[in-house]
Copies of this chain bind each other. A is one copy, B any other.
Protein backbone atom coordinates (compact mmCIF):
# COMPACT_ATOMS: atom_id res chain seq x y z
CA UNK A 1 0.00 0.00 0.00
CA UNK A 2 1.24 3.46 -0.91
CA UNK A 3 2.46 5.35 2.10
CA UNK A 4 3.83 8.72 3.00
CA UNK A 5 7.57 9.12 3.34
CA UNK A 6 10.59 11.16 2.34
CA UNK A 7 13.38 10.35 -0.07
CA UNK A 8 16.61 12.31 0.25
CA UNK A 9 19.39 12.66 -2.31
CA UNK A 10 20.28 14.34 -5.59
CA UNK A 11 16.93 14.69 -7.26
CA UNK A 12 16.51 15.24 -10.98
CA UNK A 13 13.34 15.38 -13.05
CA UNK A 14 11.91 16.99 -16.14
CA UNK A 15 9.49 19.91 -16.07
CA UNK A 16 9.32 20.37 -19.86
CA UNK A 17 11.45 19.59 -22.92
CA UNK A 18 13.53 22.65 -22.08
CA UNK A 19 13.70 22.42 -18.31
CA UNK A 20 15.54 19.83 -16.27
CA UNK A 21 15.02 20.38 -12.56
CA UNK A 22 18.26 19.56 -10.72
CA UNK A 23 18.15 19.50 -6.92
CA UNK A 24 21.31 18.72 -5.02
CA UNK A 25 20.91 17.09 -1.59
CA UNK A 26 17.16 17.69 -1.50
CA UNK A 27 14.01 16.17 -0.05
CA UNK A 28 11.36 14.52 -2.17
CA UNK A 29 8.12 13.95 -0.31
CA UNK A 30 5.62 11.21 -1.12
CA UNK A 31 2.13 11.69 0.33
CA UNK A 32 -0.26 8.79 -0.14
CA UNK A 33 1.44 7.66 -3.33
CA UNK A 34 1.76 11.10 -4.87
CA UNK A 35 4.57 13.61 -4.97
CA UNK A 36 4.19 16.54 -2.61
CA UNK A 37 7.17 18.20 -4.29
CA UNK A 38 10.92 18.59 -3.92
CA UNK A 39 12.33 20.77 -1.14
CA UNK A 40 15.78 22.13 -0.41
CA UNK A 41 14.79 22.37 3.27
CA UNK A 42 12.26 19.91 4.64
CA UNK A 43 9.02 21.70 5.57
CA UNK A 44 8.06 21.32 9.24
CA UNK A 45 4.79 19.55 8.39
CA UNK A 46 6.70 16.52 7.03
CA UNK A 47 9.16 16.30 9.91
CA UNK A 48 7.63 13.10 11.28
CA UNK A 49 7.61 11.10 8.05
CA UNK A 50 10.10 8.23 7.69
CA UNK A 51 13.02 8.96 5.37
CA UNK A 52 15.15 6.96 2.91
CA UNK A 53 18.46 8.81 2.66
CA UNK A 54 20.33 7.95 -0.53
CA UNK A 55 23.30 10.23 0.11
CA UNK A 56 25.17 11.08 -3.07
CA UNK A 57 23.08 8.91 -5.36
CA UNK A 58 20.92 10.24 -8.17
CA UNK A 59 17.15 10.02 -7.80
CA UNK A 60 15.18 10.46 -11.00
CA UNK A 61 11.52 10.25 -11.85
CA UNK A 62 10.74 6.80 -13.24
CA UNK A 63 11.10 6.29 -16.97
CA UNK A 64 8.42 5.14 -19.43
CA UNK A 65 9.08 2.72 -22.27
CA UNK A 66 6.30 3.46 -24.77
CA UNK A 67 7.00 0.51 -27.08
CA UNK A 68 8.60 -2.89 -26.66
CA UNK A 69 7.96 -6.51 -27.58
CA UNK A 70 8.33 -8.66 -24.46
CA UNK A 71 8.23 -11.78 -26.63
CA UNK A 72 11.39 -10.77 -28.51
CA UNK A 73 13.58 -10.70 -25.42
CA UNK A 74 15.27 -14.05 -26.16
CA UNK A 75 17.09 -12.94 -29.30
CA UNK A 76 17.88 -9.32 -28.49
CA UNK A 77 21.14 -8.15 -30.03
CA UNK A 78 21.34 -11.01 -32.55
CA UNK A 79 20.53 -11.30 -36.25
CA UNK A 80 21.02 -7.58 -36.63
CA UNK A 81 22.63 -7.95 -40.06
CA UNK A 82 19.24 -8.91 -41.48
CA UNK A 83 16.88 -6.51 -43.19
CA UNK A 84 13.36 -6.03 -41.83
CA UNK A 85 11.52 -8.75 -43.77
CA UNK A 86 14.26 -11.36 -43.30
CA UNK A 87 14.49 -10.35 -39.67
CA UNK A 88 10.74 -10.82 -39.18
CA UNK A 89 10.74 -14.18 -40.94
CA UNK A 90 13.82 -15.70 -39.33
CA UNK A 91 13.89 -13.99 -35.93
CA UNK A 92 10.70 -12.29 -34.76
CA UNK A 93 7.93 -14.54 -36.12
CA UNK A 94 9.46 -17.94 -35.22
CA UNK A 95 10.23 -16.65 -31.72
CA UNK A 96 6.71 -15.31 -31.22
CA UNK A 97 5.27 -18.67 -32.29
CA UNK A 98 7.04 -20.30 -29.33
CA UNK A 99 4.64 -18.58 -26.94
CA UNK A 100 1.96 -21.10 -27.76
CA UNK A 101 4.03 -23.23 -25.39
CA UNK A 102 3.08 -21.93 -21.96
CA UNK A 103 6.08 -23.48 -20.27
CA UNK A 104 8.31 -21.47 -22.61
CA UNK A 105 6.24 -18.35 -21.96
CA UNK A 106 6.65 -18.83 -18.21
CA UNK A 107 10.42 -19.11 -18.47
CA UNK A 108 10.93 -16.37 -21.03
CA UNK A 109 8.59 -13.82 -19.45
CA UNK A 110 10.17 -14.43 -16.06
CA UNK A 111 13.51 -13.33 -17.47
CA UNK A 112 12.01 -10.39 -19.32
CA UNK A 113 10.13 -9.03 -16.32
CA UNK A 114 13.16 -9.49 -14.09
CA UNK A 115 15.27 -7.43 -16.50
CA UNK A 116 12.63 -4.70 -16.85
CA UNK A 117 12.33 -4.54 -13.07
CA UNK A 118 16.07 -4.20 -12.58
CA UNK A 119 16.41 -1.25 -14.99
CA UNK A 120 15.22 2.37 -14.88
CA UNK A 121 11.76 1.73 -16.40
CA UNK A 122 8.72 2.17 -14.16
CA UNK A 123 5.98 2.25 -16.82
CA UNK A 124 5.82 0.32 -20.06
CA UNK A 125 3.51 -0.23 -23.02
CA UNK A 126 4.15 -3.76 -24.20
CA UNK A 127 3.40 -6.08 -27.12
CA UNK A 128 2.93 -9.72 -26.11
CA UNK A 129 2.00 -12.25 -28.85
CA UNK A 130 -1.32 -13.35 -30.34
CA UNK A 131 -1.63 -16.03 -27.62
CA UNK A 132 -4.22 -15.20 -24.97
CA UNK A 133 -2.83 -17.51 -22.29
CA UNK A 134 0.76 -16.44 -22.73
CA UNK A 135 -0.30 -12.80 -22.65
CA UNK A 136 -2.02 -13.44 -19.33
CA UNK A 137 1.12 -15.14 -18.01
CA UNK A 138 3.10 -12.00 -18.88
CA UNK A 139 0.50 -9.85 -17.15
CA UNK A 140 0.59 -12.02 -14.02
CA UNK A 141 4.33 -11.53 -13.78
CA UNK A 142 4.16 -7.80 -14.44
CA UNK A 143 1.42 -7.45 -11.84
CA UNK A 144 3.60 -9.17 -9.27
CA UNK A 145 6.63 -7.04 -10.18
CA UNK A 146 4.88 -3.84 -9.13
CA UNK A 147 5.74 -2.11 -12.40
CA UNK A 148 3.05 -0.09 -14.19
CA UNK A 149 2.19 -1.51 -17.58
CA UNK A 150 -0.21 -1.99 -20.43
CA UNK A 151 0.03 -5.25 -22.33
CA UNK A 152 -1.37 -6.12 -25.72
CA UNK A 153 -2.43 -9.52 -26.90
CA UNK A 154 -1.54 -9.07 -30.56
CA UNK A 155 -4.11 -9.39 -33.37
CA UNK A 156 -3.12 -10.55 -36.87
CA UNK A 157 -5.33 -12.32 -39.39
CA UNK A 158 -3.69 -11.71 -42.78
CA UNK A 159 -0.28 -11.41 -44.49
CA UNK A 160 1.31 -13.39 -41.68
CA UNK A 161 3.14 -16.72 -41.63
CA UNK A 162 0.88 -19.79 -41.47
CA UNK A 163 2.23 -20.67 -38.01
CA UNK A 164 1.48 -17.24 -36.56
CA UNK A 165 -1.94 -16.11 -37.73
CA UNK A 166 -5.49 -16.08 -36.40
CA UNK A 167 -8.91 -16.54 -37.89
CA UNK A 168 -10.78 -13.28 -37.70
CA UNK A 169 -13.67 -14.39 -35.51
CA UNK A 170 -11.40 -16.33 -33.17
CA UNK A 171 -9.04 -13.38 -32.92
CA UNK A 172 -11.89 -11.16 -31.75
CA UNK A 173 -13.42 -13.66 -29.34
CA UNK A 174 -10.03 -14.50 -27.83
CA UNK A 175 -9.37 -10.78 -27.43
CA UNK A 176 -12.65 -10.17 -25.63
CA UNK A 177 -12.04 -13.19 -23.39
CA UNK A 178 -8.53 -11.85 -22.64
CA UNK A 179 -9.92 -8.39 -21.83
CA UNK A 180 -12.37 -9.92 -19.37
CA UNK A 181 -9.72 -12.07 -17.73
CA UNK A 182 -7.46 -9.02 -17.42
CA UNK A 183 -9.98 -7.30 -15.18
CA UNK A 184 -8.33 -8.91 -12.16
CA UNK A 185 -5.11 -6.92 -12.56
CA UNK A 186 -4.42 -3.57 -10.90
CA UNK A 187 -0.89 -2.59 -11.96
CA UNK A 188 -1.18 -3.87 -15.49
CA UNK A 189 -4.03 -3.73 -17.96
CA UNK A 190 -5.03 -4.58 -21.50
CA UNK A 191 -4.37 -2.40 -24.53
CA UNK A 192 -5.94 -3.07 -27.94
CA UNK A 193 -3.11 -4.19 -30.26
CA UNK A 194 -3.62 -4.67 -33.98
CA UNK A 195 -0.09 -5.66 -35.04
CA UNK A 196 -0.18 -3.19 -37.91
CA UNK A 197 -2.53 -2.49 -40.81
CA UNK A 198 -0.96 -4.99 -43.25
CA UNK A 199 -1.61 -7.88 -40.89
CA UNK A 200 -5.19 -6.95 -39.91
CA UNK A 201 -8.25 -7.29 -42.16
CA UNK A 202 -10.93 -4.60 -42.15
CA UNK A 203 -13.29 -6.96 -40.35
CA UNK A 204 -10.73 -7.51 -37.61
CA UNK A 205 -10.04 -3.79 -37.31
CA UNK A 206 -13.73 -3.05 -37.12
CA UNK A 207 -14.16 -5.63 -34.37
CA UNK A 208 -11.21 -4.25 -32.44
CA UNK A 209 -12.69 -0.75 -32.75
CA UNK A 210 -15.90 -2.06 -31.19
CA UNK A 211 -14.02 -3.75 -28.35
CA UNK A 212 -12.08 -0.54 -27.76
CA UNK A 213 -15.31 1.38 -27.44
CA UNK A 214 -17.10 -1.26 -25.35
CA UNK A 215 -14.32 -1.51 -22.78
CA UNK A 216 -12.83 2.01 -23.09
CA UNK A 217 -9.33 0.68 -23.69
CA UNK A 218 -6.21 2.36 -25.01
CA UNK A 219 -4.69 1.35 -28.36
CA UNK A 220 -1.16 0.64 -29.61
CA UNK A 221 0.24 -0.23 -33.01
CA UNK A 222 2.97 0.53 -35.55
CA UNK A 223 2.91 3.46 -37.97
CA UNK A 224 5.03 4.52 -40.95
CA UNK A 225 8.14 2.68 -39.82
CA UNK A 226 9.56 1.73 -43.18
CA UNK A 227 9.25 2.98 -46.75
CA UNK A 228 8.15 -0.39 -48.20
CA UNK A 229 5.57 -0.75 -45.44
CA UNK A 230 4.13 2.70 -46.17
CA UNK A 231 3.83 1.80 -49.86
CA UNK A 232 2.20 -1.50 -48.98
CA UNK A 233 -0.41 0.20 -46.81
CA UNK A 234 -1.17 2.63 -49.65
CA UNK A 235 -1.96 -0.35 -51.86
CA UNK A 236 -4.01 -2.11 -49.19
CA UNK A 237 -6.01 1.01 -48.32
CA UNK A 238 -6.14 3.19 -51.45
CA UNK A 239 -9.00 5.31 -50.07
CA UNK A 240 -7.07 6.50 -47.01
CA UNK A 241 -5.27 9.83 -47.12
CA UNK A 242 -2.47 8.43 -45.01
CA UNK A 243 -1.50 5.35 -42.97
CA UNK A 244 -2.89 6.96 -39.82
CA UNK A 245 -6.35 7.06 -41.36
CA UNK A 246 -6.29 3.25 -41.76
CA UNK A 247 -6.54 3.11 -37.96
CA UNK A 248 -8.70 6.19 -37.50
CA UNK A 249 -11.54 4.91 -39.65
CA UNK A 250 -12.06 2.12 -37.11
CA UNK A 251 -11.79 4.35 -34.05
CA UNK A 252 -8.27 3.18 -33.31
CA UNK A 253 -6.36 6.43 -33.61
CA UNK A 254 -6.55 8.72 -30.62
CA UNK A 255 -9.27 11.17 -29.61
CA UNK A 256 -11.61 9.03 -27.49
CA UNK A 257 -9.26 6.04 -27.72
CA UNK A 258 -5.92 6.95 -26.16
CA UNK A 259 -3.41 5.72 -28.71
CA UNK A 260 0.33 5.25 -29.01
CA UNK A 261 1.90 4.58 -32.40
CA UNK A 262 5.45 3.30 -32.68
CA UNK A 263 8.04 4.77 -35.07
CA UNK A 264 6.49 7.47 -37.33
CA UNK A 265 9.69 7.65 -39.36
CA UNK A 266 7.89 8.46 -42.62
CA UNK A 267 4.69 10.18 -41.50
CA UNK A 268 3.27 12.49 -44.18
CA UNK A 269 2.15 16.03 -43.46
CA UNK A 270 -1.48 14.91 -43.26
CA UNK A 271 -0.53 12.10 -40.89
CA UNK A 272 1.37 14.47 -38.61
CA UNK A 273 -1.64 16.81 -38.59
CA UNK A 274 -3.90 13.84 -37.86
CA UNK A 275 -1.77 12.74 -34.90
CA UNK A 276 -1.73 16.27 -33.54
CA UNK A 277 -5.46 16.74 -33.99
CA UNK A 278 -6.27 13.46 -32.26
CA UNK A 279 -3.62 13.59 -29.52
CA UNK A 280 -1.95 10.39 -30.68
CA UNK A 281 1.28 9.55 -28.85
CA UNK A 282 4.42 8.81 -30.83
CA UNK A 283 6.81 6.16 -29.48
CA UNK A 284 10.13 7.26 -30.95
CA UNK A 285 12.37 4.18 -31.27
CA UNK A 286 15.76 5.38 -32.53
CA UNK A 287 17.74 2.17 -31.84
CA UNK A 288 15.27 0.00 -33.63
CA UNK A 289 14.88 2.34 -36.59
CA UNK A 290 18.66 2.21 -36.98
CA UNK A 291 19.09 -1.54 -36.48
CA UNK A 292 16.32 -2.39 -38.91
CA UNK A 293 17.67 0.14 -41.44
CA UNK A 294 14.38 2.02 -41.38
CA UNK A 295 15.73 5.57 -41.13
CA UNK A 296 15.54 8.44 -38.65
CA UNK A 297 12.23 9.83 -37.40
CA UNK A 298 11.96 13.64 -37.27
CA UNK A 299 11.57 13.73 -33.49
CA UNK A 300 12.55 17.41 -33.41
CA UNK A 301 9.62 18.22 -35.72
CA UNK A 302 7.21 16.35 -33.45
CA UNK A 303 8.51 18.17 -30.36
CA UNK A 304 8.30 21.52 -32.16
CA UNK A 305 4.75 20.83 -33.31
CA UNK A 306 3.78 20.01 -29.75
CA UNK A 307 2.82 16.40 -30.47
CA UNK A 308 2.80 13.84 -27.68
CA UNK A 309 6.10 12.01 -27.90
CA UNK A 310 8.00 9.55 -25.74
CA UNK A 311 10.69 6.93 -26.24
CA UNK A 312 10.46 3.22 -26.92
CA UNK A 313 13.28 0.70 -26.72
CA UNK A 314 11.35 -1.46 -29.22
CA UNK A 315 12.97 -4.58 -27.87
CA UNK A 316 14.17 -6.51 -29.92
CA UNK A 317 14.49 -4.17 -32.89
CA UNK A 318 16.32 -2.29 -30.17
CA UNK A 319 18.66 -4.55 -28.24
CA UNK A 320 18.60 -2.81 -24.87
CA UNK A 321 15.79 -2.57 -22.35
CA UNK A 322 17.62 0.38 -20.77
CA UNK A 323 16.00 3.67 -21.71
CA UNK A 324 19.21 5.57 -20.93
CA UNK A 325 20.78 4.01 -23.99
CA UNK A 326 17.67 4.81 -26.02
CA UNK A 327 18.03 8.45 -24.92
CA UNK A 328 21.62 8.53 -26.19
CA UNK A 329 20.52 6.96 -29.46
CA UNK A 330 17.79 9.60 -29.82
CA UNK A 331 20.37 12.37 -29.48
CA UNK A 332 22.79 10.61 -31.79
CA UNK A 333 20.44 9.89 -34.67
CA UNK A 334 19.03 13.41 -34.45
CA UNK A 335 22.57 14.70 -35.00
CA UNK A 336 23.03 12.49 -38.05
CA UNK A 337 19.62 13.51 -39.39
CA UNK A 338 20.59 17.17 -39.00
CA UNK A 339 23.93 16.57 -40.71
CA UNK A 340 22.73 14.30 -43.51
CA UNK A 341 19.05 14.99 -44.14
CA UNK A 342 17.57 18.25 -42.92
CA UNK A 343 19.48 21.24 -41.52
CA UNK A 344 16.21 22.91 -40.51
CA UNK A 345 15.71 20.45 -37.61
CA UNK A 346 18.44 20.90 -34.96
CA UNK A 347 19.62 17.86 -32.98
CA UNK A 348 17.84 16.88 -29.77
CA UNK A 349 19.45 17.83 -26.49
CA UNK A 350 19.95 15.75 -23.35
CA UNK A 351 17.16 17.57 -21.41
CA UNK A 352 14.81 16.98 -24.36
CA UNK A 353 15.40 13.24 -24.58
CA UNK A 354 15.20 12.92 -20.80
CA UNK A 355 11.84 14.69 -21.03
CA UNK A 356 10.71 12.25 -23.71
CA UNK A 357 11.78 9.24 -21.63
CA UNK A 358 10.08 10.48 -18.47
CA UNK A 359 7.30 13.07 -18.64
CA UNK A 360 6.77 12.86 -22.41
CA UNK A 361 5.98 9.15 -22.44
CA UNK A 362 4.79 8.95 -18.84
CA UNK A 363 1.84 11.23 -19.50
CA UNK A 364 0.30 8.43 -21.57
CA UNK A 365 -0.51 6.95 -18.13
CA UNK A 366 -1.82 10.20 -16.64
CA UNK A 367 0.10 12.30 -14.11
CA UNK A 368 3.24 10.22 -14.45
CA UNK A 369 6.88 11.09 -15.16
CA UNK A 370 7.61 14.08 -12.95
CA UNK A 371 8.15 15.01 -9.29
CA UNK A 372 5.98 18.10 -9.55
CA UNK A 373 3.24 18.23 -6.95
CA UNK A 374 0.43 15.69 -7.37
CA UNK A 375 2.29 13.49 -9.83
CA UNK A 376 2.11 9.79 -9.09
CA UNK A 377 5.22 8.86 -7.13
CA UNK A 378 7.57 6.82 -9.38
CA UNK A 379 11.27 7.13 -8.60
CA UNK A 380 14.49 5.40 -9.56
CA UNK A 381 17.68 5.49 -7.47
CA UNK A 382 20.96 5.27 -9.40
CA UNK A 383 24.33 4.53 -7.83
CA UNK A 384 27.00 5.78 -10.22
CA UNK A 385 29.77 5.81 -7.63
CA UNK A 386 31.57 3.06 -9.56
CA UNK A 387 31.99 5.32 -12.60
CA UNK A 388 35.41 6.88 -12.19
CA UNK A 389 36.58 10.38 -12.92
CA UNK A 390 39.60 12.19 -11.56
CA UNK A 391 37.49 15.27 -10.85
CA UNK A 392 33.96 15.93 -9.60
CA UNK A 393 31.11 15.99 -12.08
CA UNK A 394 27.94 18.05 -11.74
CA UNK A 395 24.63 16.24 -11.21
CA UNK A 396 23.59 17.03 -14.74
CA UNK A 397 26.86 15.67 -16.13
CA UNK A 398 26.45 12.52 -14.06
CA UNK A 399 22.98 11.94 -15.47
CA UNK A 400 24.04 12.67 -19.06
CA UNK A 401 26.96 10.27 -18.65
CA UNK A 402 24.59 7.42 -17.80
CA UNK A 403 22.96 7.85 -21.20
CA UNK A 404 26.25 7.07 -22.93
CA UNK A 405 27.70 4.53 -20.53
CA UNK A 406 24.42 2.78 -19.73
CA UNK A 407 23.06 1.96 -16.30
CA UNK A 408 23.40 -1.84 -16.14
CA UNK A 409 23.49 -2.79 -12.48
CA UNK A 410 23.32 0.82 -11.30
CA UNK A 411 19.62 0.95 -10.39
CA UNK A 412 19.73 0.35 -6.65
CA UNK A 413 16.24 1.45 -5.69
CA UNK A 414 12.84 1.78 -7.33
CA UNK A 415 9.42 3.11 -6.35
CA UNK A 416 6.21 2.81 -8.35
CA UNK A 417 2.94 4.35 -7.20
CA UNK A 418 4.55 5.27 -3.90
CA UNK A 419 5.55 1.67 -3.19
CA UNK A 420 9.18 0.70 -2.90
CA UNK A 421 9.89 -2.32 -5.14
CA UNK A 422 13.53 -2.73 -4.00
Interface positions of A (Cβ within 8 A of B) = 73-81, 98, 104, 107-108, 111, 114-115, 290-291, 293-296, 319-320, 328, 331-333, 335-341, 347, 349-350, 388-391, 393, 397, 400-406, 408-409
Q: How far is the CA of A291 from the CA of B339 in the complex (A)?
A: 11
- Given A111-B388, A293-B347, are A406 and B406 also a contact pair (CB < 8 Å)? yes
Name A's interface SS. helix
Nearest CB of chain B from residue A56's CB, rounded to whole Å: 17
A402 to B408, CA, bound (A): 13
Assess whether B340 is in contact with A341, with CB atoms less than 8 Å apart. Answer: yes
Bound complex: CA of A346 vs CA of B336, how far in Å? 18
Report the bound CA distance from A77 to B335 in whole Å: 15
**Contact B293–A400 (Cβ < 8 Å):** no
Residues of B within 8 A of A79 (CB): 397, 400
Given A78-B400, A405-B320, A408-B408, verify A290-B336 contact (CB < 8 Å): yes
5 contacts between A and B (CB under 8 A): A74-B389, A77-B400, A78-B401, A293-B335, A294-B339
Considering the complex, give the chain B residue whose CB is closest to the CB of A293: B335
Is the pair A339, B295 in contact by a Cβ cutoff of 8 Å? yes
* A73 to B332 Cα, complex, angstroms: 20
- Chain B: which residue is nearest A325 at the CB level? B406
State how many angstroms separate the Cβ of A312 from the closest Cβ of chain B. 16
> Quick check: A295 and B340 within 8 Å, CB to CB?
yes
Q: Which residues of B contact A341 (CB under 8 A)?
A: 340
For A78, the chain B residues whose CB sits under 8 A away are 393, 397, 400-401
A398 CB to nearest B CB, Å = 8
Cα A401 to Cα B340 in complex, Å, equals 28
Shortest beta-carbon distance, A149 to chain B, in Å?
19
B405–A77 CB distance below 8 A: yes
A107 interface neighbour in B114, B290, B294, B390, Cβ under 8 Å: B390
**Measured CA separation A320–B107 after assembly (Å):** 33
Chain B residues with CB under 8 Å of A349's CB are 81
A391 CB to closest chain B CB (Å) equals: 6
Q: Are A390 and B74 in contact (CB under 8 A)?
A: yes
A389 contacts B111, C-beta separation under 8 Å: yes
B80 to A331, Cβ gap below 8 A?
yes
Check if B400 sits within 8 Å of A336, measured CB to CB: no
Q: How far is the CA of A296 from the CA of B98 in the complex (A)?
A: 39
Docked Cα-Cα span, A349 to B79, in Å, equals 10
Given the known A-B contacts A74-B389, A349-B81, A404-B76, are A335 and B290 also in contact in the complex, defined by CB atoms under 8 Å? yes
Q: Which 3 pairs show the lowest CB-CB distances between chains A and B? A: A319-B404, A77-B404, A108-B390
